[in-house]
Amino acid sequence: MENQELIKLVTEKAEKWLTPAYDAETQAEVKRMLANEDKTDLIEAFYKDLEFGTGGLRGIMGVGTNRMNIYTVGAATQGLSNYLKNNFKDLEQISVVVGHDVRNNSRLFSETSANIFSANGIKVYLFDGMRPTPEMSFAIRYLGCQSGIILTASHNPKEYNGYKAYWDDGAQVLAPHDKGIIGEVEKIKDASEIKFQGNPALIEIVGENIDKPYLDAVKTVSIDPEAIAHQKDMKIVYTPIHGTGMTLIPRALEMWGFKHVVTVPEQMIPDGNFSTVVSPNPENAEAMTMAVKLGKEIDADLVMASDPDADRVGIACKNDQGEWELVNGNQTCLLYLYYIITQYKKLGKMTGKEFVVKTIVTTELIKKIADKNSIEMIDCYTGFKWIAREVRLYEGKKIYIGGGEESYGFMAESFARDKDAVSACCLIAEIAAWAKDQGKTLYELLLDIYVEYGFSKEKGISVVKPGKSGADEIKQMMINFRNNPPKEIAGSKVAYCKDFLTLKQTDADGKVTDLDMPDTSNVLQYYTEDGTKVSVRPSGTEPKIKFYIEVVADVKDRDSIKAANKAADEKIKAVMASLGI
């Protein structure tokens, strides 16, 4: 599309926002963008509609069809309301839970949504303040609701906000409901079609009456309370990075029996600008700087951080040299599942029906652990809605004992159907206590897992491409990888590749087999003869294309891990060079 055509298109779209259906402040901002000779802001705000995708909405806050504001949030809620009324027409009273995080405008968006639901005759349970995403998920089933939403952009930068929709099982919506809701949202063409005027009689404020049963449920995740009792004075540093974790995680750790939890005072202040960090993402070392500094000062055993909506957890511990080291998402997932399986076996709790779940981009070492312990392991797409789907499919038939992904999320339970930093923080603290009970640090426990099951090292690379031009570039990159798959990577022949968009696996000799997955996804994977695995996918929530690299090695003892780690770093560099990243 030529630039003048694009400007004409966005101008026409923007002018529709100059009607009485939009508030004066919004109209003034639209007029400013229209009058500006530089049309960049206008194009970015209106070149497309912020899509209500399978993960809901996520975008930069501001005025425009491609921004998070009360009108795009309102259209999403009106569409969801219409879909709920069609699906549950026989119910006397449809009900939903509405939660939100600490972000700027999150309370405004949650109250706006509550008003719209209630204006449509839907009963709303609105949290009295910010709460973790997993608690909202728990509340749906606890209160017997048909749906729920949370206003959050998770770990995204401060400019973002988001809207995630959940179904009656407490998990994010999947087929056929995702497409059905999207269809209803797309029917909302104008703000005048949104029922903004709420019915206060249908809005009930909730808080402690959900907090207490949720925390009681979290307590049931504990497997070895004796280890905690022995190590109750273990020093733990925790930070919520200004987010919702501060409401429940210190309280949960205390309930589990930990007596020496120290919080980072500067980050225990709710702040939608996340003033003490560049980005509130515990996957980034920078976000944990203050917590690790405090950990050094008090000689802590463990440092933990949760992201703004408290569904991800980042961990740091001392290595064998006494230096603080970050534990990545793959490693924490290994620690959780190794511990759960080991303890279940020790306690005689294994029935033969247990299963664990990981996402396709998460370390293959988990499969080795599961296989060696005769536990079924299921691979699913990225996102906990897919892990929750496996839990739902096997409910009453098999026993879910844990699931996780490389992006710092773990779900140790089935009472919440999303990744849960509240239970995950408590469980990793218990694992550290259990290791200490055996004279090991958490780091040494990780080394021992490598010795027993093999060493792997993973690296995630995100190539950011913002704006419309970036989206086009990402699309072209995926086309190029799909049409010209690599024959070798870092000197090792590609044994087979998986294309989850076509659901086909192609071997090096040309043999093609079908992949058994519930849906298609724009993900490519390459497996080489030396055990290297590379996954490529565009992010569904951010303007980036993601590469996941995993390389492997055998190690005979703890001492040989250092050399394996160094060799892995070199191998990863070679892989990146092969892929041109």
Helices (H) and strands (E) in the chain, counts: 18, 23
**Residue 394: pLDDT over 90:** yes
pLDDT, the chain, mean: 95
State the pLDDT at residue 375: 96
Beta partners for residue 315, in sequence order? 304, 327
Bridge partner list, 302:
236
Check residue 439 and give its pLDDT.
95
pLDDT value of position 468? 74
Q: In the prediction, which pLDDT does 550 show?
A: 98
**Residue 265 phi, psi (nearest 5):** -60, -40
Q: Given this model, what pLDDT does residue 55 score? A: 76
Token duo for residue 373: 């312990």
CA distance 391 to 172: 13
Q: What is the pLDDT of residues 218-264, one digit of tens each?
A: 999 999 999 999 999 999 999 999 999 999 999 999 999 999 999 99
Q: Among residues 418, 386, 388, 409, which one has the least CA distance to residue 400?
A: 388
pLDDT tens-digit series, residues 98-136: 999 999 999 999 999 999 999 999 999 999 999 999 999
pLDDT of residue 1: 45
**pLDDT for position 470:** 82
Is residue 326 scored above 60 in pLDDT?
Answer: yes
> Tell me: the pLDDT tens digits for 14-50?
999 999 999 999 999 999 999 999 999 999 999 988 8
* Structure tokens, 109: 């968006």
Residue 471, pLDDT score: 83
pLDDT at 2 over 60: no
AA identity, residue 106: S
**Two tokens at 468?**
């419309």
CA distances (Å), 143 to each of 140, 247, 373, 387, in order? Answer: 6, 20, 37, 22
* Cβ-Cβ contacts under 8 Å for 226 (sequence gap 6 or more): none
Q: In what order do the strands lie in the sheet with 160-167?
A: 57-60, 160-167, 147-151, 95-100, 123-127, 203-206
User: Among this protein's residues, is 154 annotated catalytic?
Assistant: yes
Confidence of residue 372 (pLDDT cuts 50, 70, 90): very high
For 355, half-sphere exposure in the C-beta direction (CA atoms, 13 angstrom radius) is 21
Q: Which two tokens stand for residue 159?
A: 């400019």
Exactly one of 154, 423, 521, 535 is catalytic; which is it? 154
- pLDDT value, residue 473: 87
- The strand ranges marked E within 398-542 are 399-405, 409-411, 455-464, 488-489, 492-499, 504-507, 512-514, 524-528, 533-538
Tens of pLDDT, residue by residue over 456-482, are: 999 999 988 887 778 888 989 999 999
Q: What is the pLDDT of residues 512-547, one digit of tens each?
A: 999 999 999 999 999 999 999 999 999 866 678 999
Q: Give yes or no for residue 181 having a pLDDT over 60.
A: yes
